[in-house]
C-alpha cells in the first residue's frame, strides 16, 4: 500500500511540475525594441552629422536640440523598463546607457567642440551600451516563441 501511495504521489508531482512554468524574465515588447533601434539611429546620426562639419562648427549649441531628443527617448525607454515586471537587469542597462550618454553630452558642452577622434570614441562607446540592450530585448522575443 505504501508503495502504491509513493508511486501515485511521485506521478502526481511529476505531472504537476510539468504544468508549472516559472518566468524569470519580462515579456517581449516590440514597441521597446523598435524604440531602441530608432533611438540608437538618432544617437549615431547626431555624431555622424558632427563629423560632417568642420571642427570649429561642431559646437554643442549647434546640436543641443538633437541631444535633448535622444536623451528624451532614452528616458522613455528607461521609464518603460521601470514599469515592466521582472525587469531589473534591463533597468540597469538602460541606466548605464543614460549615464554614459549624459557624460558624453556634458563633455561636448564643456569642450565646446569635438575632434574626429573624440566623436569616433563616443560612437564606439555608446554603441557598446546600445547593443546589449537591443540583444537582450531580442532574446525575449526568442523566449516567447
Asked if residue 142 has pLDDT above 60, the reply is yes
What average pLDDT does the segment 116-141 reach? 96
Residue 144: predicted pLDDT: 66
Where helices occur in 2-87 by DSSP H, the ranges are 2-19, 30-52, 60-82
Query: What confidence score (pLDDT) does residue 127 get?
Result: 97
Does residue 112 come out as left (phi exceeding 0), alpha (psi in the -120 to 50 range) or beta? left
In the chain, what are the domain boundaries?
27-144
Residue 48: C-alpha distances to residues 14, 69, 85, 131 (Å): 58, 16, 36, 18
Secondary structure E strands in the chain: none
Q: State the pLDDT at residue 25.
A: 74
Binning pLDDT at 50, 70 and 90, where does residue 71 land? very high
Amino acid at each position: 500500500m505504501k508503495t502504491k501511495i509513493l508511486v501515485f504521489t511521485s506521478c502526481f508531482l511529476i505531472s504537476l511540475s510539468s504544468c508549472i512554468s516559472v518566468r524569470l524574465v519580462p515579456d517581449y515588447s516590440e514597441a521597446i525594441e523598435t524604440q531602441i533601434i530608432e533611438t540608437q539611429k538618432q544617437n549615431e546620426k547626431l555624431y555622424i552629422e558632427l563629423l560632417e562639419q568642420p571642427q570649429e562648427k561642431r559646437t554643442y549649441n549647434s546640436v543641443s536640440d538633437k541631444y535633448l531628443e535622444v536623451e528624451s527617448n532614452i528616458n522613455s525607454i528607461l521609464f518603460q523598463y521601470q514599469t515592466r515586471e521582472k525587469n531589473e537587469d534591463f533597468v540597469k542597462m538602460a541606466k548605464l546607457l543614460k549615464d554614459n550618454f549624459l557624460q558624453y553630452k556634458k563633455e561636448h558642452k564643456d569642450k565646446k567642440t569635438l575632434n574626429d577622434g573624440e566623436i569616433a570614441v563616443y560612437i564606439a562607446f555608446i554603441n557598446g551600451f546600445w547593443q546589449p540592450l537591443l540583444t537582450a530585448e531580442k532574446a525575449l522575443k526568442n523566449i516567447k516563441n
